[in-house]
Each structure stands twice: as C-alpha cells, then as structure tokens.
Structure 1
Amino acid sequence: MKKFLTIGEVSKIKRVSAKSLRYYEKLGILIPAYTNKETGYRYYTVEQLLIIELIHICVELGIPLKNFKTYITSQESIDIQKLLADGEEIVNDKIKKLEGQKQFLSNVFTHVMRTNAVKDTPNEFIEDIPDRYFLTIDYKNDLSDYNAVNLEYSKLFEQSMNLGIADNFNQGFFARWENRQCIKQIFLEIPNPHRDIENLYFLPGGKFLCKILPFEEFANIKAQTDFCIVQELFDLKISPHERLIEIQEPVSSEK
C-alpha cells in the first residue's frame, strides 16, 4: 500500500479537508485510485495531487466545481489546453477589474487631496487645468433635486463601468448660456478613453477661475462667462457635514 497515499496524508500535503476530498469524489472529478471495500478507506496516487491542485486553481478562479467535469475528456484525462484557455481569460478579466479598482482609488486620492487643499480658500483663484474628458447627460430639471441628479449620476457610473473605464471621481454639471437660456448637462469625468463615445465631451485644458462655495449658495452666483463647470468636492468624512462645490470658469486669453 506504500505506493498509495491515505486520505489523511493527501489532506495534510495539499491542505484540503477529507470532507472536500469526498465531495470531489461525489462530483466525479477526483476518484480515489483504490478504495478498501472492507474498511472504506480511500487511497490516492502521487499523480492525483496534481489534479487536486488544478481543482484548487479552478476554485480560486471562480469556476464552479460542478463545471470541472467539462475539462475531463472521454479518456478520463484533464483537457489542460481548454483549462488553460479558460483560465487565461478569467485571469485577464480579473486583472482588468483590479487595475480599474486601483486606478479608481488613485483618482479618489487625487480628488480628496485637492479638496483638502482648496476647500478653505475664501477667495477666487486661478488654476491651470489639463485637458479633460466627460461622460454627459442632458438635464432639464431642478439641480437642487438631488435624488433626480443622483439618478443621472448612476447612469454615468454604470456606463463607465460597462466601458471598463475608472471614473476620475469628479462629478457635477456644465452650464452654458445660449439665447439667455441655461443649457445644463450632468457630467462624470473620465480619463481619455481613446475611442469614440457618443456622449463624450472634451474640454481643452487652460486657465480656469475657481471659487469654492457651500452647495446651497451656488444658485445665487452669477457666472461671468457663457460657460462654467460646477463640480462637487468630497473629503470622505464619514459624518454629515457641509457640502461644498467648486465653480470653474475658463479665463479668457485676453485677460
């Protein structure tokens, strides 16, 4: 019996419970090399340790154990080529999602650091801001209706996720005046997507006149130009506090 490993030995070597090994047997994805009919003891070969490792990899990748049978050929061997192909696809997708989450955390950090730097600035200031890209939605309702605004934000968040783009954690709205009417668009800033998107708005970089205000006051401010950006500032405080917004207006090159 020395050429076999007991279920206890396999459990210790591969750090898998005997209960799991019996479950693998029940699923038909790992059959003991030998079962003593009198005692019911199960034994495995050294080669089967590799099968257990492949099963563990599938678990880590999120492949349901019941699907492992799809990698077993009619000759009862593992189709490693198919498993590799599926594994690569899953891993690449996970990497893409993790990179997106890492980028989002970086964007949040950048936004919060800037918020902390400017939120207590009492006076207007000029800042040189690089090119920016925004997903936008036309909006005709009252901007003070935060529930309605949040609904539009959620649509843009969902779109950015579907596009596989981590948003820049800047959200707000554009306001431009045409024929004495204010045209409004809800926006979500994103990195350069390097692709054509129907509701993508490109804003060239330049100098912007910036003003920090409590959210309740922005409606009473008269814009000095025909275009302005109103974006919310977040500092990630976990308790309720005053909401701040930042108004940005392009500075004319003539100034």
Structure 2
Amino acid sequence: MKDLFTIGEISKLFNVNIGTLRYYDEIDLFKPIFIDRTNSYRYYSTDQFEQLNTIKYLKALGMSLNTIDYHLKKRSIDNIIELFEKQKKITEEKIKRTRTYKAKNSKQNKSN
C-alpha cells in the first residue's frame, strides 16, 4: 500500500480529528481512496492532500460544509471568485455587528 495513509496518519498530518474524517466520509465530503474489506481501514492517497487542505482552509474562513461541498463539486475560477466575494460580504457583516456591539457595550460601561 505504497503512498497510502491510514486515517490515523492523515489525522496527525493535517491535525484533523479522526471523528471529523469519518464524518466527512459519511457525508461524502472527503472519502478515502480505498477501504480494506478485511478490516474496514480507510486509506487516503497523496493526491487527496490538496482536497483536505482546501476543506480545512474554507472551514477556517467560516464556510459551511454544504458550501465547501458545493465548491469542491463545481470547481471553476468563476465559482471561486463568487465564493470568496460571498464570504467577504459575510465577514464584513460580522465585523460590522461586532463593532456595533462593542460600541454599545462601551457606552453602557461608561454610563455605569
């Protein structure tokens, strides 16, 4: 099984919980390239490293697993641009809400 990695090895390499990897398999987001029928071990190839890195990156940006799944299935330059424009708007709105909340708290604390 040259160039194949167990779920435990992938977990350590990418700092992703084994349960998370099993869940990604369950929802068809990130499936092992091979499952051994004798012991049910999941194996992943180096060709899948980019996909897992992409999932981790988009998740860190706050994207939902449904959005990530859609992106991975419909990968194109236009899709990527649209994806990041939408995420930028969401992030800007979160920043705006946080600033408003902080300003209200600051005023409230000063009056106390």
- Name stretches of at least 5 consecutive residues in structure 2 with no aligned partner: none
Q: AA paired with 1:47?
A: D
Q: Deviations over 1:43-102 (max 9, x none)?
A: 1111212211221233233332134332244xxxx6043134212321244145426745
The match for 1:28 is 28
Q: Give the secondary-structure state (helix, strand or coil) at the position aligned to 1:39.
A: coil
Q: CA deviation at 1:15?
A: 0.5
Bigger share in helix: 2
Specify the alignment match of 1:90 in structure 2.
87
- Relative distance call for 1:66 and 1:104 in structure 2 (3 A) is closer
1:136-175 correspondence runs (5 A):
none
Q: Which has the higher strand share?
A: 1
Q: What residue in structure 2 maps to residue 56 of structure 1?
A: 56
Q: Is the alpha carbon distance of 1:85 and 1:92 closer, same or farther for their aligned partners in structure 2, counting shifts above 3 Å?
A: same
**What is the aligned residue count?**
110
Instruction: Give the residue type in structure 2 aligned to 1:94.
Output: T
| 2:16 aligned residue | 16
In the alignment, what sits opposite 2:75?
Answer: 79
What is the Cα-based RMSD across aligned positions, in Å? Answer: 3.1
Q: Answer yes or no: is the 8 Å Cα contact 2:25–2:32 preserved in 1.
A: yes
Residues 72 and 4 (structure 1 numbering): CA distance in 2 closer, same or farther, change over 3 Å?
A: same
Work out whether residues 4 and 43 of structure 2, in 8 Å CA contact, stay in contact via their aligned partners in 1. yes
CA distance in 1, matches of 2:108, 2:68: 46
Runs of 4+ in 1 over 6 A off after TM superposition: none
Partner in structure 2 of residue 148 of structure 1: none
Q: What displacement does 1:41 show? A: 0.7
Deviation at 1:35?
Answer: 1.0
Contact 1:72 1:79 in 2 (8 A): yes
Partner residue of 2:37? 37
CA contact (8 A) 1:61 1:87 kept: no
In structure 1, runs of 5+ residues without a counterpart are: 109-168, 170-233, 241-255
Find out whether 1:236 has 2:86 as its counterpart: no
Three-state SS of the structure 2 residue aligned to 1:90 is: helix
Cα distance in 2 for residues equivalent to 1:62 and 1:40: 32
Structure 1 residues 95 and 79: CA distance shift in structure 2, 3 A: same
Which of 1 and 2 has greater Rg?
A: 1
